[in-house]
Amino acid sequence: MTTATELLQRLGGRPVGVVGLGLIGGSLGLDLRQLGVAVHGWAHRPATAERALARGLVDQASVHPQVLQDCPLVLLALPLDQLVSPSLQLLQGLPPEALVMDMGSVKRPVLLALQDRLPRFVACHPMAGTASAGVEAGVAGLFAGRPWVLTPTGQEDPEDLALARSLGEALEAVVLECDAASHDRAVALISHMPVLVSAALLSTATAAESSALAQALASSGFADTTRIGGGNPQLGTLMARCNREGVLRALEDYQRQLEQLRCLVSSDNWEGLEQHLRSAQAARPGFL
Amino acid sequence: MTTATELLQRLGGRPVGVVGLGLIGGSLGLDLRQLGVAVHGWAHRPATAERALARGLVDQASVHPQVLQDCPLVLLALPLDQLVSPSLQLLQGLPPEALVMDMGSVKRPVLLALQDRLPRFVACHPMAGTASAGVEAGVAGLFAGRPWVLTPTGQEDPEDLALARSLGEALEAVVLECDAASHDRAVALISHMPVLVSAALLSTATAAESSALAQALASSGFADTTRIGGGNPQLGTLMARCNREGVLRALEDYQRQLEQLRCLVSSDNWEGLEQHLRSAQAARPGFL
């Protein structure tokens, strides 16, 4: 049985609901429709619903939650703040018998906000993205080969977890499971804290006396190192806010490592510095 | 008059000497020969000289400095430590009547080491490179569109400076001039210090409890931010050693910026954080 067939069977031939039709929601819609699953989208604005239909992201779209009523599975592809502080309108609009999954990039606060308010809930983080946002951003194949992280609490029905896995597999993602706290610490390390590390580099180079010359001389190395620090400010802030503990812990660890490097330079310990850089070089392939 | 014609005239039709036939020396050889300038290479090892000839990097190559004797211009494309602590063999092998230019990435220590020991010297930093090294690394067109930084001290003969500029222009580089101290501070900011910032990110993610999960979840953002930190450890150390003051100053400025960001997070100042990230985002295009 293919992964698509298994998903279709688990859905009983019924549509999947998607709330939010931006990069993640739109990409989910495109891939699911390609697999033969009908997609019903609940959008905030009429123009988004219209455009999602025109782009073929969904089979049906509406600003009214009734569009979700036949869906056995509803995916919340909303900005993190709307997951962490869900509106009453959102909570009341979700069909009570459906399995609800969120697609947020921080898991503990989302579980705290949603787990007890929804009868059936599985927390999920598809680690995929592009720099785009909005109803034009969705692309086919966004999740293929990328981690699809489920963070079950142990309270889920095994059939619900199986459906959540089945969805990731049908999208050709790499399905992983871990607890929410470990997930949040790990993404703080490799995603949320590095945004601050990278942004501080831009602030330093901008504030420096030799900034004009630095701008003329900067090359691809500086461009790469500052890419994530020069990204969407709202998104970076939202990550830090929703993963505050993980970010602070990772940042303090980072500051210690950097201070060690500074001490190696200031004490002219060139062998020690080369050894540290050698370890960093050796570690990097593990993260690629 | 084309830039190539001007260079040929300034050279009086005589060959250019290149000392060191790695990435920079080999690339200089390829471009100069393409312009119709003969290139004579002085290599450390016979195998390098042979291979440089076979690859067409040079017209003549030898392990003996006599190969440079007819050259009115000699380019030192050597590792930084050999420029900062030049061997007697190097100093005695250079033809005393030639203009000598170095291609090192730090300028103050090179000037201190070479300016008073060579009758005619111009310090130069072509800001171009690839991840490759050695006699196989040289490529055509490496310098085109990239900064070609001259750091004159005021003691140079104007004709020598004009030849140094003419060379950069013939290679289609962007010729810039500044003082050596400003150059070294600027490259510390955008190149040498960021290596440490990037390496510390790898050390932090490797040392963390959640490192295995972080490795599984790391994506292109982490890959970009750690690219230069995972580069050649000898090179990173050499930069920090030869530009110690600039690197320490840039690193301390950086640590202050990062601590400001940490304080914004730990005091839940989300407006302040978003404002900081917005400034970083606005600053980045200036460095691209």
- The complex's ipTM works out to 0.91
Helix residue ranges, H only, B171-266: 180-187, 193-207, 211-217, 220-225, 233-242, 244-266
pLDDT tens per residue across span A196-205: 999 999 999 9
Tokens 């400034």 identify what position? B279
Decide if B85 touches A, using CB distance below 8 A. no
What does the pLDDT read at residue A126?
Answer: 97
Q: Answer whether B221 sits within 8 Å of A228, measured CB to CB.
A: yes
Q: Answer whether A204 sits within 8 Å of B250, measured CB to CB.
A: yes
Q: Answer whether B228 sits within 8 Å of A240, measured CB to CB.
A: no
What does the pLDDT read at residue A1?
Answer: 76
The minimum CA-CA distance between A46 and chain B, rounded to whole Å, is 29
Query: What's this model's pTM, rounded to 2 decimal places?
Result: 0.91
Calpha distance B16→B29 (Å, rounded): 9
Q: State the DSSP code for A15.
A: P
Q: Kindly indicate the confidence band of residue A221, based on its pLDDT and cuts at 50, 70 and 90.
A: very high
Mutate to test the interface with A, among B213, B242, B245 (most CBs of A within 10 A): B213
Tokens 């969120």 identify what position? A102
CB A256 within 8 A of CB B200: no
Q: Kindly indicate the confidence band of residue A81, based on its pLDDT and cuts at 50, 70 and 90.
A: very high
What does the pLDDT read at residue A69?
Answer: 95
Q: Which of residues 136-175 of B touch A (CB under 8 A)?
A: 146-147, 149
pLDDT tens per residue across span A171-210: 999 999 999 999 999 999 999 999 999 999 999 999 999 9
Residue percentage of chain B with pLDDT more than 70: 100
- What is the strand order of the sheet B39-42 is part of? B60-62, B39-42, B16-19, B73-76, B99-102, B121-126, B147-150, B174-177
The stretch B266-280 carries a mean pLDDT of 98
| Domain formed by B3-178, architecture | 3-Layer(aba) Sandwich (3.40)
Q: Answer whether B198 sits within 8 Å of A226, measured CB to CB.
A: no
Q: Kindly indicate the confidence band of residue B285, based on its pLDDT and cuts at 50, 70 and 90.
A: very high
Decide if B207 touches A, using CB distance below 8 A. yes
Identify the closest residue of chain B to A201 by CA–CA distance: B254
Q: Answer whether A226 sits within 8 Å of B201, measured CB to CB.
A: no
The minimum CA-CA distance between A68 and chain B, rounded to whole Å, is 32
Sorted by sequence, the CB contacts under 8 Å of residue B183 that are 6+ apart come out as: A213, A217, B107, B108, B125, B149, B151
What does the pLDDT read at residue B129?
Answer: 82
- Give the domain ranges of chain B: 3-178, 182-287
What does the pLDDT read at residue B268?
Answer: 98
Task: Look at residue B130 and tell me whether its pLDDT is greater than 90.
Answer: no
> Given A147, A266, A284, which is nearest B226 (Cβ)?
A284
Q: Kindly indicate the confidence band of residue B108, based on its pLDDT and cuts at 50, 70 and 90.
A: very high
> Given B204, B214, B231, which is nearest A254 (Cβ)?
B204
> Given B205, B262, B274, which is nearest A233 (Cβ)?
B274
Q: Considering the domain A185-287 in this protein, what is its CATH number? A: 1.10.3660.10
> Given A182, A210, A233, which is nearest B278 (Cβ)?
A233
Q: Kindly indicate the confidence band of residue B35, based on its pLDDT and cuts at 50, 70 and 90.
A: very high
pLDDT tens per residue across span B152-200: 999 999 999 999 999 999 999 999 999 999 999 999 999 999 999 999 9
Identify the closest residue of chain A to B282 by CA–CA distance: A230
Task: Look at residue B80 and tell me whether its pLDDT is greater than 80.
Answer: yes
The minimum CA-CA distance between B128 and chain A, rounded to whole Å, is 8
pLDDT tens per residue across span A254-267: 999 999 999 999 99
Q: Answer whether A280 sits within 8 Å of B214, measured CB to CB.
A: no
The domain made up of B182-287 is a member of CATH 3.40.630.30: no
The stretch A97-105 carries a mean pLDDT of 97
When the pLDDT of each residue in chain B is averaged and rounded to a whole number, the result is 96
> Given B189, B191, B210, which is nearest A182 (Cβ)?
B210
Calpha distance A95→B120 (Å, rounded): 82
Which run of H or E residues covers position A148? strand A147-150
Which amino acid, one-letter code, is at A130?
A: T
Q: Kindly indicate the confidence band of residue A234, based on its pLDDT and cuts at 50, 70 and 90.
A: very high
